[in-house]
Chain A
Amino acid sequence: DQQVKQNSPSLSVQEGRISILNCDYTNSMFDYFLWYKKYPAEGPTFLISISSIKDKNEDGRFTVFLNKSAKHLSLHIVPSQPGDSAVYFCAASGNTGANNLFFGTGTRLTVIP
């Protein structure tokens, strides 16, 4: 059973515009959320994270929003650049004290020049 879901397998955005990637989760015990970016033939790289005590975290062009009541988070990239084209994975962890992440299936972002 997929506890973290990314329902959009792909997204295309024009360069300079905003990219919004969405993620839903089902486990109310999750309290820490992360986004990873993955280029072909490379491992995922950490992008940004948010704790459940916050509803927003910003790092440069990347902002993650968390809506706990809806069990939903989103990643905003503004402005989008061609180098942002990659697969983006949403991940979540619970308060088990262990380093075990639950990942979504990924969204492939294509930024069109």
Chain B
Amino acid sequence: KAGVTQTPRYLIKTRGQQVTLSCSPISGHRSVSWYQQTPGQGLQFLFEYFSETQRNKGNFPGRFSGRQFSNSRSEMNVSTLELGDSALYLCASSVGHRNSPLHFGNGTRLTVT
């Protein structure tokens, strides 16, 4: 079956702008998580959505937000972009049970200039 799809693959934005990233999970998966990957920091958890509800949230400022639709597709929004937001943003889906493996998309590379 099709894997996790993230769009777009690449984005270039300027400081102060906002951006929306999209994620389509594997069919049947109800949980979608978002991670930020930066050099030297590994992957850092942003938030998880399950059945359209945010189930858990990482330690990121309120400029980072997300939502999930009834078809489990998810979007992540970053407002008032800063240079430090430049990163690879990864979306992962799972069936939603605790410790069920995460299946990652190929990510969206965001560059803020």
Task: Identify the A interface with B (CB < 8 A).
Answer: 2, 4, 6, 32, 34, 36, 41-46, 49, 51, 89, 91, 93, 96-106
Contact = CB atoms under 8 A, between A and B. Distances in A.
Given A89-B43, A99-B56, A42 B106 contact: yes
Interface of B: 4, 31, 33, 35, 40-45, 48, 50, 55-56, 58, 90, 92, 94, 96, 98-107
Given A43-B106, A98-B98, 4 more contacts: A99-B48, A100-B33, A100-B56, A103-B44
Q: Which of B48, B50, B98 has the most CB of A within 10 A?
A: B98
Contacts of B31: 99
A63 B53 CA distance: 36
A106 B98 CA distance: 23
Contacts of B44: 103
A32 B4 CA distance: 23
B99 A49 contact: yes
A2 to B, nearest CB: 8
Please give me the 4 A-B residue pairs with the lowest Cβ-Cβ distance, nearest first.
A43-B104, A98-B56, A103-B43, A105-B42
Contact of A99 (B41, B55, B106): B55
Given A98-B48, A99-B100, A44 B56 contact: no
